[in-house]
Structure 1
Amino acid sequence: MRRLWSMKWQLMLYFLASSLLTLGVLGFAQLYIPWETVNDTWKLMFGLLTVLIGQAVGFIAARSFQRKVDVLHMAMLQLAQGNLKDRLPVDPMDSFRPVYEAFNKMAGSLEERTHLLQEMGEERAYMERSSVETAVVEERRRLARDLHDTVSQELFAIHMSASSLPKVIGHNPDVAGQLMEQLIQMSHHAQKQMRGLISQLRPIELDGSTLEEALEKWFPEYCRAHELRGSLDVETQQPISETIEHQLFLIIQEGMANIVKHASASRIELKLHDSGRQYVLQLIDDGKGFERSAISSASHGLSTMRERAQKLGGEAEVISGAGTGTTVRVRIPKFTKVAKGDAAE
């Protein structure tokens, strides 16, 4: 059956239909049209009609094959974008059946392997969380506490001293006044920068909250601390596993820190959606952007975000250009947990 309806046989049927139609038209003309009374114009038109019949059959055949190729092409694009669950409908009488079946088999194999990779990544991330990341968190806590107790207080003392200088300096009020104003502004700016540094060093943990709950609390505070106008849009259909939530939160923190450090942005959008087949995270800023050709792949913390996404079988990409802002898009495949008993059945 598969050989009977292969593409070459189907094309031969189309050509056969074209030939039969052409012969039918010629036979009709031979039997019923008196050629002696027909002028050259009508003969030419009849010849064109015969050619058009063949072209029409060829167009129908080409359109049929083109539609099937387009379906395959769209499925391949979806697969390349991380949508691993789509399958092509297979018709037993379709000449594209072997191709569609091969694609479905490849997509199923890729989904299974990516699922296994994600499970292994979750286990590894969980183990790392309980060892390396715990030490990093504790060290950040210590640094944040030391900075707050020493440098931040010293900067505040400088600010207070600079504010009192106008009362003790009187020999050159004009110059002293300008200098004092500069000192006050500089110290205030330094203090604000230090608060931002402390907020970055102090680890933010989920502490039993969902990722959405943690972002609703942390994101506005972070934006206010860095004078950013923020927009938060989080929509998930089902609970996310603890490991994936943790990795996504770390990616968000890394991306936000990069924006504050490099982008010179005034507005940022944070979006996290569950498409049903994958989790899609987007960080969009209106900063100065950059040309990818001028930036190494390891710059701006991109390698860290990419590695965290790859641990879960996902990917991270950056869309940017000079003066056009930057978009960081992370896709993590979503898999439904199946009970062992159900799987065995």
Structure 2
Amino acid sequence: MLSQRMTNIKWKLLFYFGLSTLLVLVGFIAAIHYLIDWLQTPELLLSVLAALLLLGLAVGFFAARKVQRGIDKLHLSMIELAQGNWSNRLAADPADSFHQLYRDFNEMAYAVENRLQLLQKSAEERVLETHSSEKAVTEERKRLARDLHDTVSQQLFAIHMSAASLPKLIELKSDAAAPIIEQLTQMSHHAQKQIRGLIAQLRPIELEGVSLQEGLDRWFPDYCRQNVLQGRLELRLPEPLSEAMEHQLFLIVQEGMANVVKHASAGSVVLSIMDAGHQVMLQIEDDGQGFSKIEVNTHSYGLTTMRERAQKLGGQLEIASKPGTGTTLKVKIPKFKET
């Protein structure tokens, strides 16, 4: 079948080639027959031959351009599919040589889209099945958060208060003790800030009974405030997402924000989630120290976890960063229409 379709295109190219050759021969014969008296010099003869050759090349060029447009159209559609737009289809004109090829492409895209949609639905069902076990883990994290708050956090606060009062107790060697006291005060304050961030991570809010947008409206500002970040939240979700997709996106956001706090040394962060029609796009952009691609540890737990959560729903994770320019994390998950 494929050889037959390529044969049709081959015969069409041969037709244009034969037409251009025929035009050159007919033109040459006509010139010899009717303009023989004018073609007495080699210069005139060469001029006529050059004009006829250009005519043949023009016919061949327009024929090749038409074929190239058909190939470019197919190529662009393949790129659209590779970028996640599985709803893209080619208009197949029966008069076009690429008609059957376009039809086969559309059938292939339709089949792959259906398979990916079934895969995504299957993954969503598995996510919901494991949701109950994740709830148990979340409850344990909440318990740990309460224990840490009642013990370690209060102890660190006591260390901070004691260190701050030491200058009043040490008067004889105040010059030598002052730098150490200042360092101790800063270290204890920093440790207290870190433990508060850990408590916030161990005690995440759940999406039970609320949408992803409502959950992030509550969680994101509070998380940024606790970690001294200037945060901006941009959500454009005109239609509700599936429960499984919202759950996975929420967990990816938590992991991504934890990475910003731990590694980026950022002052501001922008979290955006938008519905692009054929896919849902999540982006976390910070103004931190960034890193080079060589420094990226693709096997780190945080990146691996986020990548696996995206892949569960047929999506992908991308990271763009350079030293001194911050980091941008993107997650793209295909969104299918019900068929």
Which residue of 52, 58, 61 maps to 1:59? 61
- Give the secondary-structure state (helix, strand or coil) at the position aligned to 2:96: coil
Which residue of 32, 37, 42 maps to 2:44? 42
Query: 1:169 and 1:65, CA in 2 relative to 1: closer, same or farther beyond 3 A?
Result: same
Aligned position for 1:230: 231
Query: How far has the Cα of 1:318 moved from its partner?
Result: 2.1
Query: How far has the Cα of 1:300 moved from its partner?
Result: 5.2
- Give the secondary-structure state (helix, strand or coil) at the position aligned to 1:269: strand
- What TM-score do the two structures reach when normalised by structure 1? 0.91
Q: What is the rounded CA distance, in whole Å, between the counterparts of 1:285 and 1:59 in structure 2?
A: 51
- What TM-score do the two structures reach when normalised by structure 2? 0.92
Q: What is the rounded CA distance, in whole Å, between the counterparts of 2:5 and 2:37 in structure 1?
A: 45
Query: How far has the Cα of 1:36 moved from its partner?
Result: 5.5
Q: What is the rounded CA distance, in whole Å, between the counterparts of 1:164 and 1:290 in structure 2?
A: 40
Aligned position for 2:91: 89
Which structure has more RCO (C-alpha within 8 Å, separation ≥ 6)?
1
Query: How far has the Cα of 1:5 moved from its partner?
Result: 8.5
Cα deviation digits, residues 3-27 of structure 1 (max 9, x gap): 6992012112212321232233223
Query: 1:162 and 1:46, CA in 2 relative to 1: closer, same or farther beyond 3 A?
Result: same
Aligned position for 1:336: 337
Q: What is the rounded CA distance, in whole Å, between the counterparts of 1:135 and 1:4 in structure 2?
A: 59
Aligned position for 1:311: 312
Residue 120 of structure 1 aligns with an amino acid whose one-letter code is: S
Cα deviation digits, residues 88-137 of structure 1 (max 9, x gap): 11111211122212211111111001000111111100010012x01210
Q: What is the rounded CA distance, in whole Å, between the counterparts of 1:318 and 1:162 in structure 2?
A: 42
Query: How far has the Cα of 1:281 moved from its partner?
Result: 1.1
Residue 195 of structure 1 aligns with an amino acid whose one-letter code is: R
Percent of aligned pairs with the same amino acid: 54
Q: What is the rounded CA distance, in whole Å, between the counterparts of 1:253 and 1:3 in structure 2?
A: 52
Q: What is the rounded CA distance, in whole Å, between the counterparts of 2:38 and 2:333 in structure 1?
A: 76
Q: What is the rounded CA distance, in whole Å, between the counterparts of 1:39 and 1:300 in structure 2?
A: 83
Query: How far has the Cα of 1:37 moved from its partner?
Result: 5.2
Q: Which moved more, 1:267-276 or 1:246-255?
A: 267-276
Residue 54 of structure 2 aligns with an amino acid whose one-letter code is: L
Query: 1:242 and 1:36, CA in 2 relative to 1: closer, same or farther beyond 3 A?
Result: closer
Query: How far has the Cα of 1:330 moved from its partner?
Result: 1.1
Q: What is the rounded CA distance, in whole Å, between the counterparts of 1:181 and 1:117 in structure 2?
A: 58
Aligned position for 2:128: 126
Aligned position for 1:6: 8
Output aligned runs, 1:257-272, within 5 Å: 257-272=258-273
- Give the secondary-structure state (helix, strand or coil) at the position aligned to 1:130: helix
8 A Cα contact 2:5 2:101, kept in partner: no
Output aligned runs, 1:1-345, within 5 Å: 6-35=8-37, 38-131=40-133, 133-299=134-300, 301-338=302-339
Residue 215 of structure 1 aligns with an amino acid whose one-letter code is: L
Residue 23 of structure 2 aligns with an amino acid whose one-letter code is: L
Cα deviation digits, residues 136-191 of structure 1 (max 9, x gap): 10111011000000011111111221222223222123233333333322222221
CA-based RMSD: 2.0
Q: What is the rounded CA distance, in whole Å, between the counterparts of 2:47 and 2:91 in structure 1?
A: 44
- Give the secondary-structure state (helix, strand or coil) at the position aligned to 1:313: coil
Q: What is the rounded CA distance, in whole Å, between the counterparts of 2:324 and 2:154 in structure 1?
A: 38
Q: What is the rounded CA distance, in whole Å, between the counterparts of 1:158 and 1:35 in structure 2?
A: 113
Q: What is the rounded CA distance, in whole Å, between the counterparts of 2:164 and 2:297 in structure 1?
A: 45
Residue 165 of structure 2 aligns with an amino acid whose one-letter code is: S
Runs of at least 5 residues in structure 1 that lack an aligned partner in the other structure: 339-345
Q: What is the rounded CA distance, in whole Å, between the counterparts of 1:217 and 1:242 in structure 2?
A: 18
Cα deviation digits, residues 37-77 of structure 1 (max 9, x gap): 54222211111111111111111111111111111111111
Query: 1:71 and 1:144, CA in 2 relative to 1: closer, same or farther beyond 3 A?
Result: same
8 A Cα contact 1:5 1:94, kept in partner: no
